[in-house]
Structure 1
Amino acid sequence: MPQHLFELILFSTYAELRAERSRSYLGLIWWIAEPAMMMAAFWLVFDVILKTGGPGYLPFLLVGLTVWQWMKSCITHGGHAIWTNLGLIRQARLPVLVFPFVQMLADTIKFLFIFALLLVILWVIGYPPSLSYLALPIVFAVTLLFAAGVGFLVAAVVPLIPDLRFVIEQVLTVVMFLSGVVFALDSVPSPLREVIALNPVATLLDATRGILMHAQWPDWPALLKVCIISAIVFAIGIGVVRQLAPRYPKLAV
């Protein structure tokens, strides 16, 4: 990546974070409050009301929702980035890939703030750091690669079919419930559990929970498979955006 393009992405990400903070009276607090409210709702339903959570459900839910919210934000915000900037794309000669990159990088920075708080909470409630933390950068790199790949695919198509963004929101909700975000895969009947285990999101969540909650190293062969899939999806997403880039300036704003 050319240095001037890299600097543009960094500056645009900084500007995006500042603009988002200024749009909300709560500022940085809202970055934490939003996922916290979602976590509280699921904890109330599954653990308090339905009593299906079991021991350790709160940290299980915290880790799952934190990582899932990061992935979902990268996919949705990055996926809408080209469509929401069509006016700017028509006026300025900028590589369209910049816009999804900026959104995904901004969401990743927010995730790191939230993840730091998550670590403190886990340590306080009895899940201390371990040597397996050394695997976290690898797991997170694969997670970002997968989310970015899907985000680029969405970003490529949404400008052509804007209503697709509503369908994608519903699809992501279904994926959340089929990835073990709010319930353990062990509670799923065997045939269905084996199918869900093929989901890359489920593999990434399982690896993150294993590191943070059980001091376990990831399942490296499974993680490698997800990495290969993620790299393929990422390459396809980049390729499709580049292929369709000449059409975006001609679309109605």
Structure 2
Amino acid sequence: MRLHFLELVWFSTYAELRAERSRSYLGLAWWLVEPALMMAAFWLVFDRILGTGGPGYLPFLLIGLVVWQWLKSSVVHAGQAIWQNLALIHQVRMPVLVFPFVHFLADVIKFGVVFVLLLAVLWLAGYPPNAAYLSLPLLLLCMALCAVGGGLLLAALMPLLPDLRFVVEQLLTVLMFLSGVVFALERVPAPYAEWLAWNPVLMLLDALRGVLLHGRWPDWMALLRVAASALALAAVGVVCVQRLAPRYPKIAV
């Protein structure tokens, strides 16, 4: 059964990527264009106009926007996956977990290509690979687990509450500004920094920038706590989808 599930996810992901390439002229390029446009806007506002960016702000900003694009897309796409496929669920009996995992895996593959390009850009900009790169798999795995957990929770609820898709877009915009995408945690006043430090995305972004820009190893204990929380969130998401799965075929489309 597990092998059948994995085969179904891999085959469906391949089909999804091919379909996306055929129906979109930009395709993967949009994953490069959108962060570049946002980077230019934030750099102009925070660095040129307000003067709060500081040295090295462009690579700092680029890392944050590329990673955030992946996390946001993963949560949104996985979160809408079951709701968008309710008609198919009515016709075919199959594990509903396939739908969010297909979208998540497709986004992981696209992010992998963009992340390699990001590393090349950083290298050309004077930030070569370093020994701390060995921590990248664990950092990216923690981020992936956060995205899986958030996406699965939304995927479980979206068929029952379709209007959530409007709320999620606004919440993700707010979360972006609370996750250190455009600012460094060390520049936040102490009382606020203590509260923001509870945000796992901010902690992971800060650790990733430390690795890529400064060759600094992450705080392993903090990373372990975030990993445990992300794994728990992903497990809760899986349980929620499985518990609500019998209700999806009964929802009118």
Q: What TM-score does the superposition give when structure 1 sets the normalisation length?
A: 0.97
| Contact 2:146 2:233 (C-alpha < 8 Å) held by counterparts | yes
Partner of 2:70: 70
What is the distance in 2 between the residues matched to 1:112 and 1:20? Answer: 17
Percent of matched pairs sharing the same residue = 64
Instruction: Name the stretch that deviates more: 22-31 or 225-234.
Output: 22-31
Matched, 1:159 2:164: no
Q: For 1:18-68, what per-residue CA distance to the aligned partner results, in whole angstroms no more than 9, with x for missing partners?
A: 111111123332232122222222222211222211111001001111111
Distance 1:12 1:71 in 2: 21
1:184-203 maps to which residues of 2 (within 5 A)? 184-203=184-203
Distance 1:225 1:183 in 2: 23
Task: Quote the residue 2:35 is aligned against.
Answer: 35
Distance 1:115 1:70 in 2: 10
Deviation at 1:187, TM superposition (A): 2.0
Match of 2:56 in 1: 56
Which residue does 1:149 correspond to in 2?
149
Once the two structures are superposed, what CA deviation does each residue of 1:208-247 show, in whole Å capped at 9, x if it has no partner?
A: 1011001011111111111111111111110010000000
- Could you say what secondary structure the match of 1:234 adopts? helix
Write the letter of the residue equivalent to 2:239: G
For residues 8-19 of structure 1, what are the structure 2 equivalents within 5 Å? 8-19=8-19
Q: Distance in 2 between matches of 1:18 and 1:31?
A: 16
Q: Is the 8 A contact 2:31 2:69 kept in 1?
A: no
State the match for 1:81 in structure 2.
81
TM-score by length of 2: 0.97
Quote how far apart the aligned CAs of 1:98 are: 0.3
Q: Deviations for 1:86-121, whole angstroms, at most 9, x for unmatched residues?
A: 111111111000000000000111101111110011
- Over the aligned positions, Cα root-mean-square deviation in angstroms equals 1.1
Q: How many residues align?
A: 253
Other-structure match for 2:95: 95
Structure 2 unaligned residues grouped into runs of 5+: none
What is the distance in 1 between the residues matched to 2:43 and 2:24?
Answer: 26
Give the match for residue 223 of structure 2: 223
- Paired with 2:52 and 2:146, the residues of 1 have a C-alpha distance of 30
Q: CA deviation at 1:12?
A: 0.7
In structure 1, stretches of 5+ residues that fail to align are none
| Residue 249 (structure 1) shift | 0.8
In the alignment, the residues of structure 2 paired with residue 31 and residue 227 of structure 1 have an alpha-carbon distance, to the nearest angstrom, of: 26
Distance 1:232 1:27 in 2: 33
* 1:241 equivalent in structure 2: 241
